[in-house]
Amino acid sequence: MRIVTVIGARPQFIKAAAGSRQIRKEHQEILIHTGQHFDDNMSAVFFREMEIPEPDYNLGISGGSHAQMTAKMLVGIEEILVKEKPDALLVYGDTNSTIAAALAAVKLQIPVFHVEAGNRLGTLNNPEEVNRITTDHLATLDFCATEDSLEKLQREGLGDRSYCVGNIMYDSFLHFVNLPWKYQNIIDFDGNAITVPSEYYYLTCHRQENTYSDEPLTEILAAMNSLDAPTIYAVHPRNRERACRVCEKEKFKNIILTQPVGYSDSVHLTKNAKKIVTDSGGLQCEAFYAGVQCIFVLDYVVWPETMVGNRNQLAKANRYDILNKLSATQIIDPSYKPFGDGHAAERICKIITEWERKNK
């Protein structure tokens, strides 16, 4: 088949690294980068390091409101789909690139395959929730990372098109976590290399809910600053100005601010951290894979499978709540593996090939 894959944001590059490697063994893939993330350390570094093929198209669309971004992508992707006439479209996750691509394809009667389907936070206040629900319902094949996501789609009447394949991010994680590694590219905002301390906490925090004003971020950073080891905070570009200003104003000396790091650096920072505090859906799963305790600062559960034995706990953006949760001890049951076995991409490819055979 000729499959157009659309990606645009950091977590999608990580998923596509595993996906493209497998898809290209059996199919012809045409890759579109929408341009949603464009800095070298948010985009190109992942293509280089994870050996993701060069995109065939880069739409260069970033910034603006959700509607502006989605609308521009819809137009740009439709033009390419009309020209390329693919047999199917493949999308990952829940970003504006995902929904724009799915919508463009379905109106052209191109079947949509959605990887990481069925996640539900239970609130439309989360902008990605709209993208998730809509894409799942537009798709011809929905690939779920967990049984829980599959059950959610079954409840929404999508059971006949949905498959539990495991988490494709786990494929990438296992591949990179087992490579010998020396930190490569952890640098501060003046461009100086940072030496990773022997003991540290790892923080990422960029969601609108935690960064729309100084207050929630100040609370999160105040908690981290009071800990018994420094915190490495890999700052998302969206958040850079606020993070630097808050640290300076509050004199948070126990926090090391860095530019976004590459995937291998992130995986190894995760593996070796004392604990992790994040509002990232992907990082909380990686913490779980690595057996490192995680605090998830948001009002909603993203991956319910991780919320066992204090392995991942929700916290408010409040210093006392975060510190309280960090003081708990986690209990790990090594036989509990809700995200599959790291072969999600192979399963996805197999199901696509079977689908093609039946629908030829």
Q: Which chain residues interact with ligand UDP by CB under 6 A?
A: 10-11, 14, 204, 234, 260-261, 263, 266, 280-283, 286
List the catalytic residues: 206
Rounded Cα distance between 353 and 344, Å, is 14
Q: Between 280 and 312, whose beta carbon lies closer to ligand UDP?
A: 280
* Cα-based angle 246, 225, 201 (whole degrees, multiple of 5): 115
Q: Between 40 and 78, whose beta carbon lies closer to ligand UDP?
A: 40
Render 273-286 in DSSP notation, one character per residue.
-S-EEE--HHHHHH
Quote the least distance from Cβ 87 to ligand UDP, whole Å: 28
Amino acid identity of residue 64, one-letter, is G
Quote the least distance from Cβ 172 to ligand UDP, whole Å: 8
Closest C-alpha among 126, 49, 67 to residue 94: 126
Quote the least distance from Cβ 234 to ligand UDP, whole Å: 3
User: Phi then psi for 346, rounded to 5 degrees?
Assistant: -65, -45
Closest C-alpha among 347, 352, 24, 350 to residue 360: 352
* Cα-based angle 166, 168, 170 (whole degrees, multiple of 5): 85
Q: Is 30 helix (H, G, I), strand (E, B) or coil?
A: strand
Quote the least distance from Cβ 283 to ligand UDP, whole Å: 5
What angle do the packed helices 168-177 and 344-359 form, to 10 degrees? 140
